[in-house]
Amino acid sequence: MCPDSGVPAEGFPIDFYRGERIGKYEVVTQLSVGGMAELFLGFTSGPGGFRKYVVIKRVLPDARDNAQFERMFLDEARITAAFNHPNIAQVFDLGREDDGLYLAMEFIAGQNLNQITGACLRRQEQLPLGFTLSVARDVCMALHYAHTYTAPSGAPSPVIHRDVAQKNIMVTYDGVVKLLDFGIAKAKDSLERTNVGTVKGTTGYMSPEQVRGDTLDGRSDLFSVGVMMHELITGARLFAGKNERDEMMKILEAPVPWPSHVAPHVPEEVSKVVMRALERSREKRFANGRDMARAIEAAAGKLLLDAHDRAALMQDWFAERMSATRVMLESADGTTNGVMLDSAKRALRSDDGPYLPERKDIPTPSNGVAGMPRKPSRKVPAAAAPRKASAAVEGTPQPPESKASNVLWGLVLMGILVGGGYAAWHLSKVLNETVDEKDASALRTLPQHDPNLPVYLGPGSGPPTDAGNTETPAKVSGGEDAEGSRSKEAASARPVKGRGKLTLLVLPEAEVFRGKKRVGRTPMFNVAMPAGEHDLTIVGPDGKKRMLSVPISAGETTQFRLKLAEIPER
């Protein structure tokens, strides 16, 4: 719901801070408490019923005598207050009271990427590739703005974030991406001078130069984006270790698997973008965030989701938390009863996990920290021949051929045999293309234009009984039906006058064809098609062809959500 700097403030009744004033802001509730600061939901009022909600960050009493933290706090306010970018959370106000320094920041109704991946894991779903790519593209553009920031005086004043990670990237319920927390950002003229060799940031997402304590530029943040993309695409942590030292060693030396080798549904062009961002030599990475954003767009093509599409997914994943947020905001009027407030509090402060599991196929380098090489390079088997780079991401490192791929699959199999935990299970699930059948009866609808989205639960289930939904469900075709009315030579579509739209989700993601023409890759939103009944060919990661019949009505949007395993093979 808001930027989070710590753990929920459990143990206090929800009205413990209600009515307290911090500067000109009235507190609704405390949101969380971290090691140095606490967060509150508050608002400021004005004539005519004006009300603006904000998140207030206040320094804790124990940290008020910490001069270094106070300088960092002031740096965060000074740096980000001047920013004006749609994908960067805004800072509105800075003040000091007897209770210490405080910041008033943009209230963001949404969830961070840790919470989003946790929601998908709980539902045993893959985070849609198009969702990950579109979020990464927007983060790259936000970083490019910060890296090339020019002060009002006209003087260049670049800002390096230094802590780009899932916890600091939020997606609002309206589908807007927001980069948070420039609390340890390094501005050109920052008041807080970092000592040589000091390491700041989230360990598993640091760049190699950040681990070594070298001077940083914007390409360090782009490495962190590459880590984030790799993890969200493959469903496992990339540089997780037993402790910070292990993670730093992996960042410097551990081999990095190609995303397309771990998750076969990932296009090779997307893998090239990720691997170029993860080059240990910064000179080989993208020159700036804008270049990386353009490369993501070129590699993703029609996979990219826009804000409307992301909003539909967020509303599906977090309907309960959205309702709780509304209750919390409405409670500022003092008309909400205590039972509803307590329920909203529990919903908003519930566990955000499970988080992504540790990958089991990346060993920790054996040499000690004292022997860290200054410029380690990625180890590639001598027999591996590089593939030709595409024009979109020229200069991107190329994947090893089948030898390295066989090694990777061997590691996956070994992980399964020895009980390698969730990561190995997840990879085997992707490779064997299975879908948990226990979710078949619990398919949720995806809110789009019509909230009464039709749901197909299996052959013979018939149309939905919801009277509010007039659309006809898709028909899964496995050859001739009971009456033998459909022949193999049947036309792929029987159009009538007019055009409609199709929204189709298939889990896991799959390619969709109408006749010999490729329609796109799921999830697909609002794809224009001629009115009539269409026989679509669905090709999943296993390469098998499946047949799905969908009716398209003129001027309407037909919407379906299916499991790939439920669609019979052609």
Active-site positions read 163
Question: Is the CB of residue 267 less than 8 Å from the CB of residue 259?
Answer: no
Q: Which residues contact 133 (CB under 8 A, 6 or more apart)?
A: 229, 270, 296, 299, 300, 303, 304
Reduce the DSSP state of residue 110 to 3 states and report it.
Answer: strand
Q: Which amino acid is at 34?
A: G
Query: Distance between the two ends of the chain, CA-based, in angstroms?
Result: 45
Q: How far apart are CA 198 and CA 214, in angstroms?
A: 9
Nearest Cα to Cα of residue 331 among 311, 348, 314, 351: 348
Cα distances (Å, whole numbers) of residue 550 to 235, 457, 502: 31, 15, 9
| Degrees, nearest 5: CA angle 65-69-71 | 100
Query: 547: part of which helix (H) or strand (E)?
Result: strand 545-552
Q: How far apart are CA 392 and CA 394, in angstroms?
A: 6
Q: How far apart are CA 73 and CA 75, in angstroms?
A: 5
Q: Which residues contact 161 (CB under 8 A, 6 or more apart)?
A: 143, 146, 168, 179, 182, 185, 221, 224
DSSP conformational letter for 22? E
Q: How far apart are CA 431 and CA 262, in angstroms?
A: 9
Q: How far apart are CA 96 and CA 468, in angstroms?
A: 54
Reduce the DSSP state of residue 66 to 3 states and report it.
Answer: coil
Q: How far apart are CA 192 and CA 248, in angstroms?
A: 24
Cα distances (Å, whole numbers) of residue 231 to 225, 281, 415, 485: 10, 20, 18, 48
**Tokens linked to 323:** 């309702």
Q: How far apart are CA 69 and CA 75, in angstroms?
A: 10
Q: Give Cα 375 to chain centroid, integer Å.
A: 30
